Amino acid sequence: MIVALSGGIGGAKLALGLSHVLPPDELLVVANTGDDFEHLGLSISPDIDTLTYALAGLDNQELGWGRRDETWSFMETLASIGGETWFRLGDRDLALHVERTRRLRAGETLTAITADIVRRFGIGPRILPMSDDPVRTRIRSDEGWLDFQHWFVRDQTRPPVRGIDFAGAASARPNPVLIDALRARPRAVVICPSNPFISIEPILAVPGLREAIAACGAPVIAVSPIIAGQAVKGPTARMFEQAGIAPSAAAVAARYAGLLTHFVMEPEDDATGIAAQVIRAPTLMRSLEDKVALARAVLAAA
Ligand code: FO1
């Protein structure tokens, strides 16, 4: 079993690459749920949906989130009646949020709902929420605490990050399916090239998960989301700078100190100080071939 930790757009790309090189029942993708939020009365799980659409081949390749075959009548009508439209919900995407919200209110777990939706989209690998208990990433800016999507989408990550909190993490229970997979000695744990601060560390903040990964007896292989000091996408490099850390692949590896056996990074980048076996490979994924090639490099390291 390959257990992959993923959040955001970069994570979903490697998860897709892995799904092309592994039998479906040998890939378990753990989704960050710290980005989840209630909006317009709907329970929205962006990182679960980004993974679902990517693995189903339905993702919008330009935006990285939402669906490619989308229409926007709901948003247009919502705008015309004064509703909040800063968080864009396409007509097809909306059905997923409405149905997930109904099932959560009916008492189903996010794990059960996600497993059913993934199956209905014809996806083979499992997509697993890191926990069925609520964990909410919050960003402390100069004006106070912001909910994650307000910071990330409404404010377009402009407010400088002075602190990050994962509300609810201390009392969240790790997904038991994940704990079982880690105890059953997986072939490897893969930390996808996601933003360490807001996509991977919420997962590691769930009590027991960091320890279960460290004790699983399998290679733990992280892929750098930073190339030549720049983030491939999103606020990763800026978040390092705002934390007073020079953005680099080595700085990413240091975020996972004590967990990694291997670290996959670009051939040209400086590996000084990385306390793991360094694997040199192209980590920029544009095409499906790039995603598959990086997945193969990760599995070869394992
Ligand atoms: N990101 C944006 O930058 N703007 C949006 O309007 C937006 C809508 C959206 C709708 C559904 C969904 O699943 C994701 C969406 N995202 C949007 C992306 C989302 O904010 C991020 O993917 C994650 O929360 C961070 O990785």
Give the per-residue pLDDT at 233: 86
Among 37, 39, 153, say which to mutate for ligand 1: greatest number of ligand atoms within 8 Å of CB.
153
- Which pLDDT value is given to residue 232? 87
Q: Is the CB of 72 under 6 A from ligand 1?
A: no
Query: Which residue minimizes the CA distance to atom 18 of ligand 1?
Result: 65
| Share of the chain residues as helix, strand and coil, in percent rounded to the nearest 5 | 40, 20, 40
Q: Where are the domains of the chain?
A: 2-301
Distance between Cα 216 and ligand 1 center (Å): 33
- Work out which ligand 1 atom sits closest to the CA atom of 88: 6
Give yes or no for residue 88 CB within 6 A of ligand 1: yes
Q: Which amino acid residue places its CA nearest to atom 16 of ligand 1?
A: 65
Torsion sign, CA atoms 223, 226, 232, 234? positive
> Rounded to the nearest whole angstrom, what is the distance from the C-alpha of residue 129 to the centroid of ligand 1?
17
Report the top-level CATH class of 2-301. alpha beta
Upper half-sphere CA count for residue 178 (Cβ side, 13 Å): 28
Question: What is this structure's pTM?
Answer: 0.97
C-alpha 261 to ligand 1 mean position (Å): 32
Which of 38, 44, 87 has most ligand 1 atoms within 8 Å of its beta carbon, as the pocket-test mutant?
A: 87
What's the pLDDT at 168?
Answer: 98
Per-residue pLDDT of the chain (302 residues; tens, 9 = 90+): 999 999 999 999 999 999 999 999 999 999 999 999 999 999 999 999 999 999 999 999 999 999 999 999 999 999 999 999 999 999 999 999 999 999 999 999 999 999 999 999 999 999 999 999 999 999 999 999 999 999 999 999 999 999 999 999 999 999 999 999 999 999 999 999 999 999 999 999 999 999 999 999 999 999 999 999 999 889 999 999 999 999 999 999 999 999 999 999 999 999 999 999 999 999 999 999 999 999 999 999 99
